[in-house]
Chains A and B, each alone.
Chain A
């Protein structure tokens, strides 16, 4: 394998961990540093793994499932000062390997701790916090938390690193911890901060029901955990129809959403569910199970029209049902971050 490990060549390394907002935070910090005559590398992951090196963007081709090897950086890229990488591990082991072998960060940022990847990390937020804290290696000097739950922060606190928490000036706004964390990080590394309120207004303008062809909906299909889904739902208000896409390879997620619906974390009208285990899910929640296909999506669209109430799409983007439904609703592309990803700029391919 050709390449270099980030810790060998880049002096300042930041790992962005946590449940939600990792990509947004990594890109936000990168986009602030990149224009300031400093060499910076940023790696974001998820459906579309991208590496930004100064002003170039590399789209990384995946063969099969995501592997940690995509965190190996190209050689001969000149002197870099900062490395911001999203921790792509979804188990304690892979998160630890990422920290221990690939990045060796001095700073770890935990955006928040929510009920995701429960099959690997634990079925409560406390267990997830404890699992994630065990992945913090001895090289870490600063752990920065965007989590406001004191019980969770107590679990994250350990003796061998500095621990700090940032508080959003608008805690009820989902995702508002991200620009605050970005601002703190930038200042901490000697840069001028950002206009946090400008970012908060931007999030606020995005977080609203959308209307298309007389149908009101919110595309929360990238929201994969029930904690975040209920935060967004509470922010949006109303008593919506919840449209949920389930995935066979995420049984823990199915369990967590079932918990959210059955324990009524939010007010909702009814649930439409598709994907693996949808029949069981619908039975347990008095919901409607639809096939994981475009026919299922058409049926969901009919129900949305009949009921005439807002629909909240969530769970996953990885299913035919949700993809068809989003297409029918005119949603294109994946909203990755607040800013625009400069995909068209210096786009190179890397095997």
Chain B
């Protein structure tokens, strides 16, 4: 019998393949590649959703300040987003830090960087949020249909 974790893992692979196909079709990345990794995490541990949202918002906001006022761009900006994200996750999930949290910690930063470096930031943010919601919903439905535990 397939476990929920296995299903979540496989859904990540499928999600990444879908984003790759979209990229091949439109020629750019319209959805952050962090989304298929974030969605199963949230499905498995709904209590971390707030930390992820805070991580994305704080990284995006501070990252924008570094971009506009300190002229950070490219790989510098990528590092900044990830470091901010790791610090925010560290603070918000301080009481429950484990290996999972460590692996999760850079994903909100990656999301913020993908939005920052996309052609149309608003569109990428909205499409990523939609994809995230669809991914979590699909997992919920699949878990119930397949009755996995």
Q: Does chain A bind chain B?
A: yes
- Write the nearest CB–CB distance from B124 to chain A, whole angstroms: 11
Question: How many Å from the CB of B115 to the closest CB on chain A?
Answer: 12
Nearest residue, chain A, Cβ from B119 = A134
A54 CA to B67 CA in the complex, in Å? 30
The interface residues of chain B lying within 8 Å CB-to-CB of A5 are 71
A130 vs B71: C-alpha distance when bound (angstroms) = 26
Give min CB distance, B8 to chain A, whole Å.
Answer: 32
Q: Which residues of B contact A347 (CB under 8 A)?
A: none
Kindly provide the distance from the CB of B45 to the nearest chain A CB, expressed in whole angstroms. Answer: 33
Taking a contact as CB atoms under 8 Å apart, the answer to whether B67 and A93 are in contact is no
A69 within 8 A of B: yes
Is the pair B73, A97 in contact by a Cβ cutoff of 8 Å?
yes
Q: Contact mask A86-123 → B, CB, 8 Å, 1/0?
A: 00000011101100011000000000000000000010
Which bracket fits the contact residues of A?
10 to 19
Which residues of chain A have C-beta atoms less than 8 A from B73's C-beta?
A: 68, 93-94, 97, 101
Nearest CB of chain A from residue B29's CB, rounded to whole Å: 11
In the bound complex, CA of A68 to CA of B68 (Å): 14
- Known pairs A92-B28, A122-B27; A131 contacts B71 (CB<8 A): no
B70 closest partner in A (C-beta): A1
- Complex partner residue of B119 from A69, A102, A131, CB under 8 angstroms: A131
Residues of A6-32 at the interface with B, using a CB-CB cut-off of 8 Å, are none
Closest to B77 in A: A97
Interface contact tally, CB-CB below 8 A: 29
Find the B residue at minimum CB distance from A102.
Answer: B71
- Complex CA–CA separation, A1 to B76 (angstroms): 15
* A46–B67 alpha-carbon span in the complex (Å): 24
CB <8 Å contact, A134 and B120: yes
Contacts known (A92-B28, A122-B27, A127-B27); A69 close to B120, Cβ less than 8 A: no
Q: Quick check: A93 and B117 within 8 Å, CB to CB?
A: yes
- Encode contact with B along A30-44: 1 for CB under 8 Å, 0 otherwise: 000000000000000
Whether B71 contacts A69 by the Cβ 8 Å rule is yes
What A residues does B117 contact at CB under 8 A?
93
B67 A101 Cβ-Cβ under 8 A: yes
**Chain B positions 13 through 26: 1 when the CB is less than 8 Å from some CB of chain A, otherwise 0:** 00000000000000
Which residues on the B side are within 8 Å of A94 (C-beta)? 73-74
| Interface mask (B64-101 → A, CB under 8 Å = 1, otherwise 0) | 00011001011000000000000000000000000000
